[in-house]
Amino acid sequence: MGKKAVFLDRDGTINVDTGYIGTPEGLKLFPGAAKGIRMLSEAGFILIVISNQSGIGRGYFTEDDLGAVNGRITELLTLEGAALDA
């Protein structure tokens, strides 16, 4: 049997959707998001985040800015013992 996966949207699911988040300081995880991610991982799921970041195409932030925001998500999840696979 193949591995099970959960695909999670980023904004509004893992973190509070405050609009176009272009800086790490603008990111806030939902309470319990890290715990839920950790529980899914412990249950054997591969965890993949998908996200349409149209702010790049609109010129609100760059791909490097997006990388910094995604890095902050990883950092905050790690602090709570959680991790994403992709």
Catalytic residue among 9, 17, 65, 85: 9
Catalytic residue among 11, 17, 64, 85: 11
Instruction: Tell me how far apart the alpha carbons of residues 16 and 10 are, in angstroms, rounded to a whole number.
Output: 9
**64 classed as catalytic:** no
CA-based Rg of the chain, rounded to a whole angstrom? 13
Instruction: Tell me how far apart the alpha carbons of residues 12 and 10 are, in angstroms, rounded to a whole number.
Output: 6
**9 classed as catalytic:** yes
The HSE-up count of residue 53 (CA atoms within 13 Å, CB side) is 19
Instruction: Give catalytic residue positions.
Output: 9, 11
